[in-house]
Structure 1
Amino acid sequence: MRATDAVGRYGEDVAAAFLVGEGWTVLDRNWRGTRGELDLVGLDGSELVVVEVKTRRSTAFGHPAEAVTARKLARVRRLTAEWLRTHDVRPASVRVDVVAVLLTGRGPAQVEHLVGVV
Structure 2
Amino acid sequence: MAKKTLVIGASTDPSRYSYLAANRLVSHKHEIELLGVKEGVVAGKEINTEKEKFEDIDTVTLYVNPQRQSEYFDYVADLKPRRVIFNPGTENPTFEDFLTEKGIEPIEACTLVMLATGQY
TM-score clears 0.5: no
Higher strand share: 1
Larger Rg: 1
The alignment's TM-score, normalised by the length of structure 2, stands at 0.34
